[in-house]
Amino acid sequence: MEALLFTQGLNVVFEALILAMLVLGLAVVMGLLNVLNIAHGEFIMIGAYAAYIVQRAGLPYLLAIPAAALVCGVIGLVVERCLIRPLHYEPFETLLATWGLGLLLRKCVELGFGRGYRSVDIPIGGSVSLFGESYPTYRLVLMLVAVLVLASLFVWYRRAPTGARIRAMVGNPVLAEAVGIRTRELARNTFITGTALAGVAGVMVAPLTPVEPFMGLTFIVNSFFALVVGGMGTVSGLFAGATIIGGLQSVLSAAVSPTSAYIAMLLISILFLWQRPRGLFPRP
Amino acid sequence: MTSGYFEIQNISGGYGSGRVVRDVSISIGRGEVVCLLGRNGVGKSTLAKLACGFLQPMSGAVRLAGVEITGKRPSENLTLGLTYCPQERVVFDDLTVAENLSLMRTDRRLDEFEPYFRAFPRLCERRGQHAGTLSGGEKKLLSFVRGLSEGSAMMVIDEPTEGVQFENVVRMAELMLAQKEAGASFLVVEQNLTLVDRVADRIMIMDHGEIVLSAPASELDRQQILAHLTV
């Protein structure tokens, strides 16, 4: 019984960390630039396809991470130039535009790969024995990678002035130019960082889920819920949202059913949007 | 005509297709302070924005130290030695006073701002607060300190004393004069004669988008200036 609880506990931590990785790109773009990238899930999907291609080509799986980051970064660059910047980063306009972009990306991938499910083999097989219970090694490695990525990003955001400069630019673009911030480049790079992170998250989850053109839809919904609950633009908000949404989903799915888990998440998100729209830890 | 350090040459422009500034030329030498006066809405702020790259002029040119900077972005102009302090939305409200000052520095300590903090202790007391909580006058002081601390050879300041207390205006003038001694030039859009009396080498008066009067400060008395400022 204790061992089962321990495994369940690990699963909750795992779900929370994976969700945090999935949200990260959206948190950067939405929390910092106020652009709700509805196509965020599609960038995760493209990252997953990049992993599939790299694995099929017989290349080492680690190579999929830079490949996905590169592909999603380049698409992000084009999207920023042709869609986001011409719409002046306006929240509502870009929401509509990226919704259309999501449709386009899904259809493009469908054209190339068809609608069928692809599966990506788990790159690190086997399991580790923890307190008498066996736990998949790949999950443990994923958790470790997620902790490393999130921790380094956290330290960087706190120490480097870039975070404050992005906030400054979003709050007052004219003054930002006046104090010497190259606002066009900074906004572009922030957006690209968000899409590239989505691609990397796609590589991480690809072996755990069927890879298909519509897989992004679930991710964008969960990511959005996590941001709504946690609050935009803060690292604590990202963690809180991912833990609550990811953990709840994991516990309720195991204890009751995935459907009731989904209903619970919806209710919580609606409650937050209604009563506390800025989330638990909003940017001051 | 001798060429100045900062030259605005036959600039025309405005917002969209509206021509607010008409064929204005201003030449400012090294270590010279030019004060631009005029009633509200005659195009002073627009001229400052045209000169610093926030608006694209319809015609005319801007030169800094002989180099044409027309059409260059403000962030680029800053690296060339042209600082601009806006009239409105003068600080980053979401950042602290300290962050407002150290935003573009690699060093987050505020040692180099000590002289400014001595002049305006209020800013030092409030350095941990969000700049959005400051009063209008305090925000102007913060913006002024940020601008002066860039150490640029040319500064364009739009109404720096709006809402600032008299004794702080006097200190602003002292700080400006110290930088002028070191060779810095200023173009100051101003309504407040307390500052103008103390710093101006030359006074220009603008009306309907044009310069209607330009004279050394010593040759103009208050009555003549006031006559232009009142409707």
Per-residue pLDDT of chain A (284 residues; tens, 9 = 90+): 677 788 888 989 999 999 999 999 999 999 889 899 999 999 999 999 999 999 999 999 999 999 999 999 999 999 999 999 999 999 999 999 999 999 999 999 999 999 999 999 999 988 988 877 889 999 999 999 999 988 988 888 777 888 889 989 989 999 999 999 999 999 999 999 999 999 999 999 999 999 999 999 989 999 999 999 999 878 889 999 999 999 998 899 888 998 999 999 999 999 999 999 899 988 76
* Model pLDDT, residue A173: 93
Would you say B96 and B128 are in contact if contact means Cβ atoms under 8 Å apart?
Answer: yes
- pLDDT of B144 reads 98
Select from A168, A177, A180 the Cβ nearest to the Cβ of B95. Answer: A168
pLDDT score of B230: 76
Q: Are B89 and A174 in contact (CB under 8 A)?
A: yes
**Residue A36 placed within a domain:** yes
Longest CA–CA separation in chain B, Å: 50
B89 — contact with chain A (CB < 8 Å)? yes
Cα distances (angstroms) measured from residue B85 to each of B46, B78, B170, B209: 13, 11, 18, 21
How far is the C-alpha of B74 from the C-alpha of A165, rounded, in Å? 16
- What are B34-69's pLDDT values in tens digits? 999 999 889 999 999 999 999 999 999 999 999 999
* Angstrom distance (rounded) from CA A224 to CA B57: 43
Q: So what's the pLDDT on residue B177?
A: 97
pLDDT value, residue B224: 84
Q: How far apart are CA A174 and CA A168, in angstroms?
A: 10
Across the interface, of A165, A283, A284, the residue whose CB is closest to B103 is A165
Is B1 a member of any domain?
Answer: no
Asked whether residue B174 carries a pLDDT value surpassing 90, the answer given is: yes
Q: How many CA atoms lie within 13 A of B63 on its CB side?
A: 16
**3-class SS of residue A127:** strand
> Chain B: nearest CA to A80, how far in angstroms?
20
In a domain, A221, yes or no: no
Is A189 inside a domain boundary? Answer: yes
B201: its two tokens = 């080498």
Rg, C-alpha atoms of chain A: 19
A178 touching B (Cβ < 8 Å): yes
Sequence-distant (6+) residues with CB within 8 A of A203 are A47, A48, A50, A51, A64, A65, A68
Angle (CA) B202-B205-B207 rounded to 5° is 165
B3-6 LR contacts (CB < 8 Å, sep 24+) = B3/B27, B3/B63, B3/B66, B4/B28, B4/B29, B4/B32, B5/B29, B5/B30, B5/B32, B5/B64, B5/B65, B5/B153, B5/B154, B5/B185, B6/B51, B6/B62, B6/B63, B6/B64, B6/B65, B6/B82, B6/B154, B6/B185, B6/B187
Tell me, yes or no, whether B130 lies in a domain.
yes
C-alpha–C-alpha distance, residues B4 and B9, integer Å: 11
Q: What's the rounded mean pLDDT across residues B21-43?
A: 95
Query: What is the pLDDT, as a whole number, of residue A156?
Result: 82
Residue A229 CA to residue A277 CA, distance in Å, equals: 8
What ipTM, to 2 d.p.? Answer: 0.92
Please judge whether A182 and B73 are an interchain contact, meaning their C-beta atoms are less than 8 angstroms apart.
yes
Tokens coding A76: 């992000």
Number of separate domains in chain A: 1
For every residue of A189-238, DSSP letters joined together read HHHHHHHHHHHHHHHHHGGGS-B-TTTHHHHHHHHHHHHHHH-TT-HHHH
Residue A158 neighbours by CB distance under 10 Å:
9
Range of the domain at A127: 21-213
Contact B139, B88 (CB under 8 A): no
Contacts of A167 in chain B (CB under 8 A): 92, 94-95
Residue B214 placed within a domain = yes
List beta partners, residue B8: B26, B62
Determine the Cα–Cα distance for residues A194 and A88; give it in Å rounded to an integer: 17
Domain of B51, CATH number, reads 3.40.50.300
- Phi and psi (nearest 5°) for B112? -70, -10
What does the mean pLDDT of chain B come to?
94
Which of A212, A215, A45, A41 minimizes the C-alpha distance to A114? Answer: A212
Contact between B91 and A175 using a beta-carbon 8 Å cutoff: yes
- For B133-162, give the secondary structure using H, E and C: HCCHHHHHHHHHHHHHHCCCCEEEEECCCC
- Shortest distance between the Cα of A31 and any Cα of chain B, in A, equals 14
The rounded distance, in Å, linking the Cα atoms of B214 and B210 is 11
Kind and range of the H or E element at A77? helix A64-79
Q: Which residue of A has its CA nearest to B101?
A: A179
Domain count along chain B: 1
Q: Is the pLDDT of residue B231 over 80?
A: no
Chain B residue numbers with beta carbons less than 8 Å from the beta carbon of A176 are 92
Burial class (CB in 10 A: 0-12, 13-18, 19+), B183: exposed
**Is A247 among the domain residues?**
no
What CA–CA distance (Å, rounded) separates B214 from B202?
7
Whether the predicted pLDDT of B2 surpasses 60: no
Token couple for B152: 């640029």
Q: A111: how many CB neighbours lie within 10 A of its CB? A: 9
Please tell me the distance from the alpha carbon of residue A198 to that of residue A192, in angstroms, as a whole number. 10
CA–CA separation, B215 and B202 (whole Å): 6
The pLDDT of B179-189, averaged and rounded, is: 97
Query: Which chain B residues touch A177 with a CB distance below 8 Å?
Result: 54, 73-75
What whole-number distance in Å separates Cα of residue A89 and Cα of residue A30?
A: 11
Instruction: Give the structural domain span for B136.
Output: 6-229
Terminal Cα-to-Cα distance of chain A (whole angstroms): 44
Residue A15 inside a domain? The answer is no
pLDDT reported for residue B1: 43
Torsion angle, alpha carbons of A8, A13, A14, A15, to 10: 90
Residue B101 C-alpha, separation from nearest chain A C-alpha, in angstroms: 10
SS3 B205: strand
Per CB-CB distance under 8 Å, the chain B contacts of A181 are 75, 103-104
Instruction: Give the residue from B94, B30, B48 showing the smallest Cα distance to B189.
Output: B48
- Report the pLDDT value the prediction gives residue A83, as an integer from 0 to 100: 97
In a domain, A38, yes or no: yes
C-alpha distance from B93 to closest chain A C-alpha (Å): 8
**Contact predicate B142/B131, CB 8 Å:** yes
